[in-house]
Structure 1
Amino acid sequence: MSLIDYLDDEKIDFVEEIVSQWIIRIGDQKINIRITKDAHGYFQFVTSHYYHGSEQAGPYIASAANFTSEKEAIIYARRQVVSFYDPADKNAVWVENTLF
């Protein structure tokens, strides 16, 4: 039995275990990455900020979820943070994830 099973209760809507948390810096921006594992054994990631380049319609937020390993979740979190990052874009902003 996993420890997460002890939180299985009809009054609890959702439970995840925090597996790891990382702090990275890109330019002047500090970004937190949290990796969690749900009751079904899948890994998820969430970042504290999203990058919004001046040529993008909105910030890039990856839609991938339910990873089979912590490593896979970290790889996708890195992609979300740096895929569109352009240090030369002076009008880009980091948008805070209010759900972090």
Structure 2
Amino acid sequence: MSYIDYLEDKAFKSVEEIISQFIVKIGDQKIKIRITKDAHGYFHFVTSHYYQGSEQEGPFISSIANFPSEIEAITGARRQIVSFYEPEDKNAVWIENESF
């Protein structure tokens, strides 16, 4: 049972409930994934790090924000982490998400 409605208040800009959290390891990097659900019933993900390959101008950060299910949010997080990952790219970096 979700109690998110009890936090409804005009002073809060937004309220999200943490649904699940995961830690994955890719190469030598540990990445945390947090899945939340907002007051409108949409699921969101955030990752602790973003991957930037040496040929990329910046890290890949997914622009998809609202998911209808927890599974789709988890899939979105996985896609963000591995879409451009190249294990042989020795100059790639993992950039910490300061908002995690």
Question: Which TM-score band applies after superposition, normalised by the shorter structure?
Answer: over 0.9
Aligned residues: 100
Match in the other structure for 1:66: 66
Q: Give distance in 2, aligned partners of 1:68 and 1:51.
A: 25
Match in the other structure for 1:75: 75
* Aligned-pair CA distance for 1:46: 0.3
Structure 2 gap ranges (5+): none
Could you tell me the percent identity over the aligned residues? 72
Match in the other structure for 1:90: 90
Question: What TM-score do the two structures reach when normalised by structure 2?
Answer: 0.97
* Aligned-pair CA distance for 1:3: 1.1
Structure 1 gap ranges (5+): none
Runs of 4+ in 1 over 3 A off after TM superposition: none
* Aligned-pair CA distance for 1:81: 0.1
Q: Give distance in 1, aligned partners of 2:11 and 2:97.
A: 27
Q: Give distance in 1, aligned partners of 2:48 and 2:2.
A: 28
Q: Give distance in 2, aligned partners of 1:89 and 1:44.
A: 29
Q: Give distance in 2, aligned partners of 1:12 and 1:2.
A: 17
Question: What TM-score do the two structures reach when normalised by structure 1?
Answer: 0.97
| Aligned partner letter, 1:36 | T
What is the aligned-residue RMSD (CA, Å)?
A: 1.1
